[in-house]
């Protein structure tokens, strides 16, 4: 209250103790909700805390408890809807569990920047790391690297040593192709994600395998980069070669494909069926509304945090959530021949 303003950076547990007329230890007990404090004393301490606007130093506490109450989140793929949903959900789940989240987002998923991001987290003494891995290189960067803390990977591929949660992309892609097959299509093309994308490759594999099982010969997949713009380019190529059904690896590219197809005078779904992947909120309002495979990002994000908590508790032998089933959302962009 001096003219100097608040020097509040300096209120310690001892100041509170003095004001409340108790020892710092008693204040600590109140702070940590420990028993054996007389209600009247507790009240006096709480009063002092409020009056002093005292905030315990997390640093000091972490130093002695060896627990930072913080987890790290490494996310690539933002600002897209899927990754953003994961970030949101992991964050909220963590907060519910009393953990703070240090997030490091990366525009490029190259190995070196990933490792340095993870090192930053380790330096901040996070208790666990959640990796949202869109690219295979991300997985590789962590492979065989002893972090010293538990690692949970959100990824569409079951491979790898780390604990993993996520949707089984392979099965989901098969379901999408099956839908097209059931509608009577036999010439089913694929607009795939970029080379190196885990989900992209798994969806491609699912498409190819499912076709071959039906005795069909898959064409060469077209490679996009997840953006509507790339979908548009590829869609133009598709229109030229007269495709009748297309499985597009994500909804954003599907939007571009629809755009290109219509620009080329091909009607969807009358002339060509299009199915997407993700079920972003926009998908229901494309022209026509997009048939797609839904990923429940919220549920998967929760799974990730649940896995973290499990690892943090019993170290080993935790039962992990099973990969999620992918619901097919049938709208207006696919039609029986």
Interacting residue ranges for a second copy, rule: CB under 8 A: 6, 8-9, 53, 55-60, 62-63, 66, 68, 70, 73, 78-81, 83-85, 87-88, 91-92, 95, 100-107, 117, 120-125, 146, 148, 227-229, 231-232, 252, 255-256, 258-259, 262, 281-282, 284-287, 289, 297
First vs last C-alpha separation in the chain: 80
* 65 lies in the site for DNA, by CB under 7 A: yes
Cβ(206)–Cβ(243) below 8 Å: no
Positive or negative torsion for Cα 8, 12, 15, 16: positive
Specify the 3-state DSSP secondary structure of 256: helix
- How remote is the C-alpha of 109 from its chain's centroid? 14
Contacting residue, 6, 8, 25, 242, with DNA by CB under 7 A: 25
Contacting residue, 1, 2, 5, 35, with DNA by CB under 7 A: 35
In angstroms, give the least distance from the CB of 223 to DNA: 47
Q: How far apart are CA 218 and CA 238, in angstroms?
A: 14
Partner that binds at residue 100, options DNA, a second copy, none, CB closer than 5 to 8 Å by kind: a second copy
Retrieve residue 82's tokens: 């899927």
Partner that binds at residue 262, options DNA, a second copy, none, CB closer than 5 to 8 Å by kind: a second copy
In angstroms, give the least distance from the CB of 47 to DNA: 14
Q: Which is nearer to DNA, 15 or 244 (CB)?
A: 15
In angstroms, give the least distance from the CB of 244 to a second copy: 21
* 24 lies in the site for DNA, by CB under 7 A: yes
Neighbour tally for 194: CB within 10 Å: 16
Pairing of strands 328-329, 292-293: antiparallel
* 125 lies in the site for DNA, by CB under 7 A: no
Q: What angle do CA 225, 227, 231 make, to 5 degrees?
A: 85
* 98 lies in the site for DNA, by CB under 7 A: no
* 38 lies in the site for DNA, by CB under 7 A: yes
Length in residues, the chain: 337
CA-to-CA separations, 248 to 194, 253, 295, in angstroms, rounded: 12, 7, 15
Partner that binds at residue 289, options DNA, a second copy, none, CB closer than 5 to 8 Å by kind: a second copy
Partner that binds at residue 286, options a second copy, DNA, none, CB closer than 5 to 8 Å by kind: a second copy
**Side-chain-side CA neighbours of residue 58 (13 Å):** 8
Retrieve residue 61's tokens: 């506490």
Where along the sequence are the contacts to DNA (CB under 7 A)?
10-14, 17, 21-26, 28-29, 31-32, 35-38, 40-41, 54, 56-57, 59-61, 63-66
């Amino acid at each position: 209250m001096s003219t100097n303003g608040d020097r509040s950076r300096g209120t310690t547990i001892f100041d509170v103790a003095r004001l409340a007329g108790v020892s710092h230890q008693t204040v600590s007990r109140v702070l940590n909700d420990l028993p054996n404090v007389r209600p009247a004393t507790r009240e006096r301490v709480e009063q002092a805390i409020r009056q002093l606007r005292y905030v315990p130093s997390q640093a000091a506490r972490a130093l002695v408890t060896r627990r930072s109450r913080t987890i790290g989140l490494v996310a690539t793929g933002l600002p897209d809807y899927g990754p953003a949903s994961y970030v949101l959900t992991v964050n909220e789940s963590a907060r519910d569990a009393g953990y703070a989240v240090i997030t490091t987002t990366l525009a490029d998923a190259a190995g070196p920047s990933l490792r340095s991001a993870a090192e930053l987290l380790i330096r901040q003494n996070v208790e666990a790391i959640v990796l949202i891995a869109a690219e295979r290189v991300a997985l590789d960067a962590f492979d065989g690297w002893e972090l010293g803390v538990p690692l949970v990977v959100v990824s569409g591929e079951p491979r790898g040593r780390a604990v993993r949660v996520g949707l089984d992309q392979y099965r989901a892609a098969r379901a999408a192709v099956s839908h097209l097959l059931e509608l009577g299509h036999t010439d089913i093309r694929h607009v795939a994600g970029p080379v190196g994308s885990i989900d992209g490759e798994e969806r491609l594999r699912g498409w190819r395998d499912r076709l071959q099982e039906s005795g069909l010969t898959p064409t060469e997949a077209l490679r996009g980069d997840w953006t509507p713009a790339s979908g548009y380019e590829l869609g133009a190529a598709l229109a030229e070669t007269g495709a009748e059904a297309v499985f597009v690896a994500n909804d954003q590219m599907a939007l571009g494909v629809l755009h290109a197809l219509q620009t080329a005078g091909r009607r969807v779904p009358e002339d060509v069926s299009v199915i997407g992947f993700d079920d972003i909120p926009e998908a229901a309002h494309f022209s026509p509304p997009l048939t797609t495979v839904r990923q429940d990002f919220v549920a998967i994000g929760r799974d990730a945090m649940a896995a973290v908590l499990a690892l943090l508790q019993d170290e080993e032998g935790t039962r992990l959530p099973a990969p999620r089933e992918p619901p097919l959302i049938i709208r207006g962009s696919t039609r029986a021949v």
